[in-house]
Structure 1
Amino acid sequence: MTSPLPLEGVRVADFTWVGAGPFLTKPLADHGADVIKVESRTHTDPIRSMAPFRDGRPGPNRSGYFANRNTSKRSICLDLKSIRGKELALALIAKSDIVTSNFTPGTMDRLGLGYRDLTAVRPDIICLEMPMQGNTGPHRDFRGYGLTIAAAGGLLGLTGYPEHPPVGTGTNYPDHVPNPLHAAVAVLAALRHRRKTGKGQYIELAQLESTVNVIGPALLAAATGRRVDRAANQDASAAPHGVYPCAGEDRWCAIAVTTDDQWDALANVLGRPEWAAKPCYATADGRLATREELDDAIAAVTAAHDAEALADALTATGVPAAVVSDAAHILTDPQLNAREHWKVLDHPEMGPSVYDNIPYRLSATPGRLHTPAPVLGADTRDVCLNLLGLTPDEYQHLAAEGVVG
């Protein structure tokens, strides 16, 4: 018998979509909250149409991107622009503890679902909105996703080589880490506040401001008048510090050296004992090498090594190192598998599919991925009949009109 989940009894009316919003409500759902994702059949969540798709076949219920962000949730479809659809949304909110959205400022108000509308049906509601740049200021109406937020927030400006344009982070980092997790912590704090005071809260999480937290040290440096520029893989407290080529096609090993002992160990593992017992790698003429020359010298040696064997040899001597893995390697990683990081859930349309498990372990109140991502509108009838009190005939009538589905 499975243990109860810590957020059981908490209900979330989830109007979020795309990346950051669903990643906010996912940990709530995985820890027991009844997260009801409100969707539309005429304007589906964009990531339902984003690759990768199971077996390479597109479809609103076949996106791995969507599936990854929406475990343990339910899905209902409402036409929020219809009077009856808005009424059902308010009825759902009246039976919910939390309402979340990440639309452009004013969207929920125009739908008749603004904070004042919510408190009219649930005075102690906790409402969280995630506008890109906040609800006030000259940029309040700007629209954007993780990529544009990372650019506006200075994160992309720090990635890449100083002599080249920014290269980015390879993924929409603001959507995956700072914004959804800051929002989740804010929601949990509001739940605790309501438990102690009986009062709800309105939470505005400006995604740009949340993202700026990621580059705090660079901001402090800039505030002192120091120019902050892209530094590739360089690190102020480590040298060498980079990703180095290894034997085989597109095989690499990441290496970081922060102490003299680590430098000596690296020199010995690479078969270059003459490098040891020196403060830094020296050139043939005795001059201390630049970082670029140091990287070139190490890369010339690592290119003959097997990436896994090199990483193992270095870590065994205390040098921080790791193989650069692709998705296939990650799936077979012994550490992740030993910790049961991968979980297979049987999706109604995609069949057994691999999901990444919850990456943090709470000893007293653990969560779990208890259902796969929902197919579009899978729970509309159940929610309307068993939670909102519609009769089967009323539901069929509204379904025929396109209000529900």
Structure 2
Amino acid sequence: MAKPILDGIVVCDFSWVGAGPITTQNLAMMGATVIHIETHKRPEILRVTPPFKDRKPGVERSGYFSPRNANKLGLSLDLAKPEAIAVVKRLLTMSDIVINNFSFGVMDKWGLSYEDCKKIKPDIIYIEMPPQGRTGPHKDFMAFGSLINALVGATFLTGHPDQKPAGTGTNYTDHVPVPGHLTFAIMAALRHRRKTGEGQFIELAQSQAGVNMVSAIPVMDYAVNGRIQQRMGNRHLELAPHNLYNCKGERNWIAIAVYNDQEWESLKKVMGSPEWADDPKFATNEGRKANEDELDAKIEEWTSAKWHRQLMDELVREGVRAGVVHSCRDVTEDYNLVERGFWTYLMHPEAGLALYNHSPMRMSKVPVLSTTPANMIGQHNQQVLHDLLKYTDEEIKEMEEKGVLN
């Protein structure tokens, strides 16, 4: 079998919470050796965040932490101790990438800034992920994804027009635009290094990645039209019908989106060509949009008597864009995801058998890995220190006694 595309690449991973760990998991799934550096003194915040396996709290049982930290090696170090910094510096001699999303200045305080690391490994690729950049009036501001969502305009646009902003329901910038942009930047930097022998510093301002993906169309609309887009619920700025509709049963909905007149005719066919749908005011998208409240009410009157899954299949067969609204349980049991092998069960040393998502990537020439569960704190100390960094057993025992490995 061919080797993974990043086989032999070593990542010194100081990242935590969302965007950083998701990025390094992308690298791990492509074969990189990711060494996740943590401390027992101050566990990563997601380790103590529910949901917990079997509803039993514990730093090794969080279902929030685990899915974004599979396929990594866990190394525990007390970075307040000089001996721990010495371990990191030895690791740097064989690392290709250093990544962190600490507050501004933390790595500098430890003597692990880009300039410091470059002296040890001149071709190192070094990544920082400040919330709003290393420069500017907000360079010292701290933030999580929910705050970035608000700053970039995503929260303002999410919800119903007659209610306050609802938010995206997840830290969207942590999960999509930041790791997406950053994974691409890392791959580009590796390619540049292969061609030139040069490493480089990568700064990714999380807010700018968010604006680039989340708010690009609304920002452009304001720039060219002076229009401030408002919350629309599940509707579309220009298309109709485009909404969620109640279906038969409890808490069942279906999303239906019609993008052109041909799809409208197909929807009419599935509805049984009701007389109201032939009204000339619904004949064009402009007319449907102008009469959207009435249109949605008529469609929902029809969908309310239908089972949502059966209706979805019928609509899709006729070329109408439709999808049922899945709960998390529905997603884990989705027959398409199961058949494609997206879900995998991995055995964790403490949490036991747990569900993980495989990579959404499929590559025809090289494997994409999902083989080991989330690392425990310091789980691979011996492997990293002895096998990779070549410390002797006596040296490792001395570090343990001094609390270097906490």
Q: Does the pair score TM above 0.5?
A: yes
**Partner residue, 2:274:** 273
**Partner residue, 1:370:** 371
Q: What percent identity do the matched residue pairs reach?
A: 44
Bigger Cα displacement from structure 2, 360-369 vs 186-195: 360-369
Name the SS of the counterpart of 2:64 in structure 1: helix
**Partner residue, 2:314:** 313
Bigger Cα displacement from structure 2, 90-99 vs 273-282: 273-282
**What code does the residue aligned with 1:83 have?**
P
Q: Deviations over 1:186-233 (max 9, x none)?
A: 111111000000010000000000000122111111112222222222
Correspondence 1:42 to 2:41: yes
**What code does the residue aligned with 1:48 have?**
R
Q: Deviations over 1:271-292 (max 9, x none)?
A: 452144455549xxx9986322
**Partner residue, 1:218:** 218
Alignment length, in residue pairs? Answer: 401
- Tell whether the 8 Å contact from 2:158 to 2:166 is kept in structure 1 after alignment: yes
Name the SS of the counterpart of 1:218 in structure 2: helix
**Partner residue, 2:144:** 145
**Partner residue, 1:11:** 10
Counterparts in 2 of 1:238 and 1:288: CA distance versus 1, 3 Å: closer
Q: Deviations over 1:133-158 (max 9, x none)?
A: 01011100110111000100111111
Correspondence 1:242 to 2:243: yes
**Partner residue, 1:194:** 193
Structure 1 residue 237: Cα displacement = 4.0
1:80-159 paired onto structure 2 within 5 Å:
80-159=79-158
Structure 1 residue 261: Cα displacement = 2.5
- Between the aligned partners of 2:242 and 2:143, the Cα distance in structure 1 is 33
- Between the aligned partners of 1:348 and 1:288, the Cα distance in structure 2 is 56
Q: Deviations over 1:269-312 (max 9, x none)?
A: 23452144455549xxx998632222222222211110111111
Bigger Cα displacement from structure 2, 391-400 vs 115-124: 391-400
**What code does the residue aligned with 1:161 have?**
H
**What code does the residue aligned with 1:195 have?**
R
Q: Deviations over 1:64-111 (max 9, x none)?
A: 111100111001001111111111111111210000001111111012
**Partner residue, 1:173:** 172
Counterparts in 2 of 1:287 and 1:228: CA distance versus 1, 3 Å: closer
- Tell whether the 8 Å contact from 2:281 to 2:288 is kept in structure 1 after alignment: no
Counterparts in 2 of 1:279 and 1:321: CA distance versus 1, 3 Å: farther
**Partner residue, 2:337:** 336
- Between the aligned partners of 2:279 and 2:130, the Cα distance in structure 1 is 53
**Partner residue, 2:159:** 160
**Partner residue, 2:57:** 58
Counterparts in 2 of 1:244 and 1:392: CA distance versus 1, 3 Å: same
Counterparts in 2 of 1:287 and 1:84: CA distance versus 1, 3 Å: closer
- Tell whether the 8 Å contact from 2:288 to 2:295 is kept in structure 1 after alignment: no
- Between the aligned partners of 1:141 and 1:31, the Cα distance in structure 2 is 33
**What code does the residue aligned with 1:375 have?**
M
**What code does the residue aligned with 1:143 have?**
M
Q: Deviations over 1:1-31 (max 9, x none)?
A: x542111100000000001100010010011
- Tell whether the 8 Å contact from 1:14 to 1:37 is kept in structure 2 after alignment: yes
Correspondence 1:356 to 2:362: no
Counterparts in 2 of 1:95 and 1:192: CA distance versus 1, 3 Å: same
- Between the aligned partners of 1:256 and 1:294, the Cα distance in structure 2 is 13
**Partner residue, 1:77:** 76
- Between the aligned partners of 1:209 and 1:84, the Cα distance in structure 2 is 37
- Between the aligned partners of 1:211 and 1:371, the Cα distance in structure 2 is 31
- Between the aligned partners of 1:289 and 1:135, the Cα distance in structure 2 is 47
Counterparts in 2 of 1:223 and 1:287: CA distance versus 1, 3 Å: closer
Aligned-pair Cα RMSD in Å: 1.7
- Between the aligned partners of 1:62 and 1:272, the Cα distance in structure 2 is 54
**Partner residue, 1:325:** 326
Q: Deviations over 1:334-375 (max 9, x none)?
A: 211121111111111222211111112111223120211111
Bigger Cα displacement from structure 2, 74-83 vs 326-335: 326-335
Name the SS of the counterpart of 2:122 in structure 1: coil
Name the SS of the counterpart of 1:28 in structure 2: helix
- Tell whether the 8 Å contact from 2:131 to 2:141 is kept in structure 1 after alignment: yes
Q: Deviations over 1:101-129 (max 9, x none)?
A: 01111111012111111011111100011
- Tell whether the 8 Å contact from 1:264 to 1:277 is kept in structure 2 after alignment: no
- Between the aligned partners of 2:117 and 2:191, the Cα distance in structure 1 is 20
**Partner residue, 1:205:** 204
- Between the aligned partners of 1:41 and 1:161, the Cα distance in structure 2 is 43
- Between the aligned partners of 2:103 and 2:306, the Cα distance in structure 1 is 51
Structure 1 residue 267: Cα displacement = 2.6
- Tell whether the 8 Å contact from 2:240 to 2:288 is kept in structure 1 after alignment: no
Counterparts in 2 of 1:297 and 1:194: CA distance versus 1, 3 Å: same
Counterparts in 2 of 1:399 and 1:287: CA distance versus 1, 3 Å: closer
Question: What is the TM-score normalised by the length of structure 1?
Answer: 0.95
Runs of 5+ unmatched residues, structure 1: none
Name the SS of the counterpart of 1:64 in structure 2: coil
Structure 1 residue 236: Cα displacement = 3.1
Counterparts in 2 of 1:193 and 1:261: CA distance versus 1, 3 Å: same
- Tell whether the 8 Å contact from 2:71 to 2:370 is kept in structure 1 after alignment: yes
Q: Deviations over 1:232-267 (max 9, x none)?
A: 222134211011111111110000011223222223
Runs of 5+ unmatched residues, structure 2: none
